[in-house]
Chains A and B, each alone.
Chain A
Amino acid sequence: MTVSLLPHQQSERPIELPYSNFLDLLRTHAEIAPAREFLIFPESGRKYSYRQFFEIAVAAADWLGNIAPKQSTIGVVLRNTPEFLAIYFGAVFRGMTVVPVNPDLAAPEIRFIVENSESTTVFYDPALKAKLAGLESDMFSAVRFLPFGDVADLAKIDVAAVEARLPQVEPTTPAAIIYTSGTTGYPKGVILSHMNFLADGKGMSEWFQFTSDTRSLCILPLFHNNGLVVSLATTLYMGGSIVMVDPKSSLRSFWALVERYNATFTSVMPSILAAILAFGFEGRPGLLKGIICGGQLLPLSLAEKFEARFGVPIFEGFGSTEASSYSCFNPHPAEKRKLGSVGKVLSVCEMKVVDDADVEVPDGTEGELCIRGINVAIGYLKLPELQKLRFRNGWYHSGDYGYRDSDGFYYFRGRKDDLIVKGGEKIYPAEVENVLSLHPNVAESAVIGVDDAILGQEICAFVKLKDNAASTEKELLSYCAESLARFKQPKRIVIINRLDDMLDLPKGPTKKILHRELRDYYQRRILNSEDPEGLKWVLGTQGPG
């Protein structure tokens, strides 16, 4: 099949995908092994074979055809449930685009995503009715909000007849728009096609030699690309099975779930490994064949300690939402790895390291990591300037910095900008600063990421109050809670009017706030001070309490 590729999706080693879309993939496995287990949901006790869930997805597609306009975009505010996946597969079977939304976002944040994506219909967990009620009344004429609590409510259909009526969906048709933090303070929508998901699924499943016997434990949310691609698409690609658990309740049960369901692989953020060690959760060594890990810097000491304790190899990788998920991995099997590296590039893409002039640098030289291939996204939604900046000269420019060694192994070193990565969640300072700037007593603010032993980073805000204003840290924290999801709320707000040695936020010649100087100040004056309260949360010692 000839597919028209964007410049940043073309590479010197073209890849043929045996499936053209999600319908093709799921139908194939439902035909090859209809009775094989596909999805297991331990919380509700529900489980589905490939054929059973294929029929549910086709029924959802039929229902959606009566509800949402053709090829429209729909929002999904659901947890890791059969309901999420029924809507997801049903929509993409019809050529619709799904916008997965984090149920923990504050109402204004959900509103932004729904409006920006021009979602026509939003399906939500009935437990969220109170939160979404305001939005529903505000946006009633433009958007339809529908609670969806049980796939069993889908009408019984003639599967073959409905399937025959489904439109042909091209590989390049958008399947999902995943929102990720943006430098301007507003999240940016990354448009991913069927081809993108299938390509990354192929690349990773081949890398880790997944088979139909592979059983993945999915403890990351499906509203992020990691859950959707690594746990779902990658396992589905080879016809394996997936144990789906709510990420918020799974941490303490991690080893029990691995053991009870004989999971062979799972995908985590480094913060999950840190928490398992910090809380002292016990597991039988050698149960898992591997743990896929990324999303934030994995300290080598953490990886070594975890592997020594539990006997499970950790495969660190590098990627981004803009490249569907991962683009490179430490090699499998484990003996081929180089610990500390994010590994070698997958078969479905290419990577290179460039300098500021966009010229490829020699091995061993640090520069910006770039990716191209069929796993790289269509681009950003309604952000043409950013699109030009990041997707230029036939490559996606990640904004992440690192180098490649002479053996072709890549090493991630960090970012040049001020992106905060807290437990795998990405937060640009502007998201928090924009909210603080709306407070009537705040003259200006600056937000930085500071070290946290479990989450990797926490959020600290420096605030300058207007003259004669008297807001407290507690008041400003409550104010943030009204507009920001919990994971974006600062852990601490430092009011600089009360500091003896900071009259103003540090600024450069163009009056741009110097976040690096604030990070240095934080290290020098707060982290290393005699302030035991400060130390308590910065070091994460209150986490396991």
Chain B
Amino acid sequence: MTIQELYSAVSQVAEQVLQIPKFDDSTNMISTPAWDSLKHVQLLSAIEREFGIEISGDDAFRLTSADRLIQYLHEKLQAEVRE
């Protein structure tokens, strides 16, 4: 998937889980109060289900913005394709 396609897919999931009108490249945890600690857990779980991947605890705390999340997914999915 391209970065653009990932944004499109993740935005749908994130907007539903976080209950925010728009999840785009400017969205980050600090400026989005709705993205709280419990929602972060729910968001990552929803993304795992959507993409059939597992996000480790070593990575989960770093995924604090839309950009970081998409970049992480992009690299993770590409690595899976290579394998």
Q: A residues near B, CB below 8 A?
A: 42-43, 79, 103-104, 125, 127-128, 130-131, 245-257, 260, 275, 279, 281, 454, 485-487, 543-545
Contacts and interface: CB of A to CB of B under 8 A. Distances in A.
Contacts of A245: 61
Given A249-B64, A487-B36, 15 more contacts: A125-B30, A128-B31, A130-B31, A246-B64, A248-B29, A248-B36, A249-B40, A249-B62, A249-B63, A251-B41, A253-B57, A253-B61, A275-B37, A275-B41, A486-B36
B56 interface: yes
Nearest to A283: B57
A544 B58 CA distance: 20
Nearest to A103: B30
A256 B55 CA distance: 12
B61 A42 contact: yes
A256 B42 CA distance: 18
B73 interface: no
Contacts, number: 78
B33 interface: yes
A543 B38 contact: yes
B34 interface: yes
Contact of B61 (A79, A127, A252): A252
Interface string B28-69: 111101111110111010000000000111111111100000
A454 B37 CA distance: 12
12 contacts: A42-B62, A104-B33, A248-B36, A248-B64, A249-B40, A249-B64, A250-B37, A252-B44, A256-B56, A275-B41, A543-B38, A544-B41
A131 B31 contact: yes
A127 B27 CA distance: 9
Contacts of B40: 248-249, 251-252
A253 B60 contact: yes
**Chain B interface size range:** 20 to 34
Given A254-B57, A256-B57, A257-B57, A249 B34 contact: no
A254 B41 CA distance: 12
A439 to B, nearest CB: 21
A255 B57 CA distance: 7
The 3 closest A-B pairs by CB, nearest first: A256-B57, A253-B61, A486-B33
B1 to A, nearest CB: 23
A253 B58 contact: yes
A486 B61 contact: no
Contacts of B35: 248
Nearest to A128: B31
A42 B60 CA distance: 11
A103 B33 CA distance: 8
Contacts of B62: 42-43, 249
Nearest to B28: A127
A251 B31 contact: no
A79 B57 contact: no
Contacts of B30: 79, 103, 125, 127-128
Contacts of B59: 253
B37 A251 contact: yes
A31 B56 CA distance: 39
- With a 10 A CB-CB cut-off, give which of A103, A246, A255 has the most chain B CB atoms: A246
A43 B64 contact: yes
B58 to A, nearest CB: 5
Interface centre among B34, B42, B59, B61 (most CB of A within 10 A): B61
Contacts of B56: 256
